[in-house]
Structure 1
């Protein structure tokens, strides 16, 4: 079965300027995702969907295909990720290429490894699995969360049955980390298709590889983690 990895990378950013190509320890951010996708050896095609000629040139230099730029619609704020995916699949179909599965790999998840991608991809081989989404455990137990009213009283927290429980006694909760989505290419063409309701299963990733780059603090943490890893390798 033919598979394609789509790395969505619209230019600009409301937070970090041009974060998808920002320098991270000598490499553009998007390069980490491109290299992980290529090293996984799971895909017939690894492509970047962008609206920017600059992004396209950088992505191609990193090893990804960029056979076309986004349309005006998918380059806009109103388009969602799955709109981008559908456009990519249609364009490839017009070029005579079809795929059984499509993976979406956000460039803002740079520490997701080739092994993570391969692990998620291998889940598709299991009977009854149509879609795979990467998740990670929450950093803070949700049972310890609470609401505040205008008085800022902690009464809601004090009345919680979980307040005196140890972390080890609490049931773990998980959240999407945005690193890996692998879905049925034919089914995702239906705009009403809900990937989570059709035999969708979680691929669990550790928090240290689930960092999502959105703000300056995320970038600082990422650089520190990469530099620390390099130092450990040199020792």
Structure 2
């Protein structure tokens, strides 16, 4: 199987300026996603062909990625038309696919996007997403989720006509009675190349999707200063107490 891994990060960010090129616990944030890819290659890839590309308009981010000589990453300079904050990320990933196929002369069976701002994942998480997508070729994407802390049928509310009411009216008296919901944790997405080329990008996740459930390592992805500070606290705890997260940290440390 030919697998394309994508790392996508633009220079601009309204939530947290320059977040993709920031450090995380003293090391470049992007290295944690790269470490998960490197460990996946070592532990699970077997005879698969693995390519990795970075799609960005950020020169500092390019510099950080190129400091790691042990993981080859192709650089795709992002076109200005794909650099706006209203551009669907799926459109950027399709751009990665088309250009990587030209760059490497390969046809890819799967495209796996690793969100730079969600560093708390394991090599096994990556493997689980790829395995699930390979088992379900009919779905357009397999993405990662965690169990939701709130349920719109039970303990989520909205403001309407000057009052607060349940987000979805119901007669459930316990959360256990309500349908199960999950949070997309913006970490791993395993795409069908066909779907990337044929499906409407604005509504890509509205249908024909599947998911893997990850450990709830903090459902946040880094989009604010508060997220950035909190995620580092969570990371230090996981690296100390869970070996599968510690190996990511150890891999990053080797690159310093």
User: Where does residue 35 of structure 1 map in the other structure?
Assistant: 35
Q: What is the CA deviation profile of residues 44-63 of structure 1, one whole-angstrom value per residue up to 9, with x for unaligned ones? A: 01221111222111012243
Count how many residue pairs are aligned between Structure 1 and Structure 2: 230
TM-score (normalizing by structure 1) = 0.85
Q: Secondary structure at the match of 1:110?
A: coil
Which one of 48, 51, 57 corresponds to residue 54 of structure 2? Answer: 48
Give the strand-richer structure, 1 or 2: 2
Structure 1 segments, 4+ long, off by >6 Å, are none
User: Where does residue 133 of structure 2 map in the other structure?
Assistant: 124
Q: Secondary structure at the match of 1:7?
A: strand
Q: Could you say if the C-alpha distance between residues 147 and 89 of structure 1 is closer, same or farther in structure 2, counting changes exceeding 3 Å?
A: closer
- C-alpha deviation, 1:229, in angstroms: 3.1
User: Where does residue 174 of structure 1 map in the other structure?
Assistant: 182
- Contact conserved, 1:129 with 1:200, CA < 8 A, in 2? no
- C-alpha deviation, 1:150, in angstroms: 5.3
TM-score (normalizing by structure 2) = 0.78
The whole-number CA distance in structure 2 between the counterparts of 1:197 and 1:219 is 29
Q: What is the CA deviation profile of residues 45-102 of structure 1, one whole-angstrom value per residue up to 9, with x for unaligned ones? A: 1221111222111012243513331112122334321221222222223232321110
Q: Secondary structure at the match of 1:17?
A: coil
The whole-number CA distance in structure 2 between the counterparts of 1:225 and 1:192 is 36
**Are 1:212 and 2:221 an aligned pair?**
yes
Q: RMSD over aligned Cα, in angstroms? A: 2.7
- C-alpha deviation, 1:206, in angstroms: 2.6
Q: Could you say if the C-alpha distance between residues 145 and 232 of structure 1 is closer, same or farther in structure 2, counting changes exceeding 3 Å?
A: closer
The whole-number CA distance in structure 2 between the counterparts of 1:197 and 1:8 is 22
Q: Which is worse superposed, 25-34 or 72-81?
A: 72-81
Q: What are the within-5 Å matches in structure 2 for residues 48-87 of structure 1?
A: 48-62=54-68, 63=71, 65-87=73-95
Q: Could you say if the C-alpha distance between residues 190 and 216 of structure 1 is closer, same or farther in structure 2, counting changes exceeding 3 Å?
A: same
Structure 1 unaligned residues grouped into runs of 5+: none
Q: Secondary structure at the match of 2:190?
A: strand
